[in-house]
Amino acid sequence: MAQHFLLSAAARTLSLKAVFQDGEERAYERFCALRWPRCQGRPICPICAGERCYAISTWRRFKCAACQRQFSVTSGTIFASHKLSFVDLLAAICLFVNALKGISALQLSRDLKVQYKTAFVLAHKLREALAAETAGHMLGNVVEVDGAYFGGHVRPANFKDDRKDRRLLNNRSGKRCVVVAMRERGGRTLTQVSSQESEGVDFARRRLKPGSIVTSDEVAHWDLLSKDFPTERINHSDAYSRDGVHTNFAESFFSRLRRMIRGQHHRVEAKYPNDYAAHAGWLEDHSRESNGQMAQRLIENGLSAHFSRVWKGYWRRAG
């Protein structure tokens, strides 16, 4: 019987034990090699792109011989202004990619022995870095489109006489949102969070290549896509898959996202679902990669992305 990839040794190329055994210097060298791969880890000035740089021996910084500016391996990146050591950053990334259903900030703070706010901001910076992979990405070939509702749970009253019908719109909390997912078969996953699933029609039009085949369920608003794209429909009350027509890959994404929110985070504020949806989509897209490859990809994304204008200091900036 063939062994599943995730159970094989090929899926385990990075371990937390190895990260701490290698130590701080090896972690720092890894960040340098991924920041400047063209020069095998030798620094390049992020301001003027000068290659004549020399190290400042008192701390891990460099100085450009051309513009005389000082910089570090994390300057201008998602990891800028960090206070954690490089081995702790690498350990956090290892924990982040090893958690197949996501990891809570509380667990991350306990594993790294840091404040909750530090772990919370770091996790969201990592989600911002991985979301940059699909910025402006267009989907083609066969694309599955579907939506699912999250949040807005209304706790029932203690006594039966005081309880209200939570299915009615007037009795909901107003925090309920819908995540619209588009998954290209054999490709990437794109997500959007909105108040109604019908808003996903415009989202699909913006992110689909001409000639793409759209597969969806029989909800009426997806009919509008038939004017621009060939469509295939599946009636879920009749079957989940028929003659190769299905939305099973989109449903797989929603299954992971539900387990991420309910099982790990328990409750997600209304302004954050987009971050968690992008995280779940990234895990789905790279589920056939080893944890070492995923960690390297995430570090490369963080080092190539500009510093976060949303997550600054120890909390989220207002506005």
What is the per-residue pLDDT across 102-139, written as a single tens digit (0 to 9) for each? 999 999 999 999 999 999 999 999 999 999 999 989 99
Is there a domain that residue 150 lies in?
A: yes
Is there a domain that residue 159 lies in?
A: yes
Q: Give the pLDDT of residue 318.
A: 47
Helix orientation angle between 291-304 and 116-131, rounded to the nearest 10 degrees: 90
- Residues 208 and 143 sit within 8 Å (Cβ to Cβ): yes
CATH number for the domain harbouring residue 212: 3.30.420.10
State how far the Cα of 227 lies from the Cα of 5, in Å rounded to an integer.
Answer: 40
Q: In percent, how much of the chain has pLDDT > 70? A: 96
The arithmetic mean of pLDDT across residues 184-212, rounded, is: 94
Parallel, antiparallel or unpaired: strands 177-184 and 189-194: antiparallel
Q: Give the pLDDT of residue 315.
A: 54
Q: Is the pLDDT of residue 147 over 60?
A: yes
Is there a domain that residue 211 lies in?
A: yes
Q: How many domains does the chain have?
A: 2
- How far from 15 is each of 25, 175, 259, 291, 297, CA to CA, in Å? 17, 39, 24, 8, 16
- For residues 127 and 196, membership in a common domain is answered with no
- For residues 107 and 152, membership in a common domain is answered with no
- For residues 239 and 167, membership in a common domain is answered with yes
Mean pLDDT taken over the chain: 90
Contacts of 277 (CB under 8 A, 6+ apart): 179, 181, 191, 193, 257
- For residues 183 and 273, membership in a common domain is answered with yes
Is there a domain that residue 281 lies in?
A: yes
- For residues 85 and 19, membership in a common domain is answered with yes
Q: Give the pLDDT of residue 1.
A: 60
Q: Is the pLDDT of residue 271 over 90?
A: no
Paired tokens of 15 = 């371990």
- For residues 190 and 270, membership in a common domain is answered with yes
- For residues 105 and 150, membership in a common domain is answered with no
Q: Is the pLDDT of residue 87 over 70?
A: yes
Is there a domain that residue 63 lies in?
A: no
- For residues 166 and 114, membership in a common domain is answered with no
Q: Is the pLDDT of residue 319 over 50?
A: no
Q: Give the pLDDT of residue 309.
A: 77
Enclosing domain of residue 16: 5-35+74-133+306-316
Q: Give the pLDDT of residue 236.
A: 87
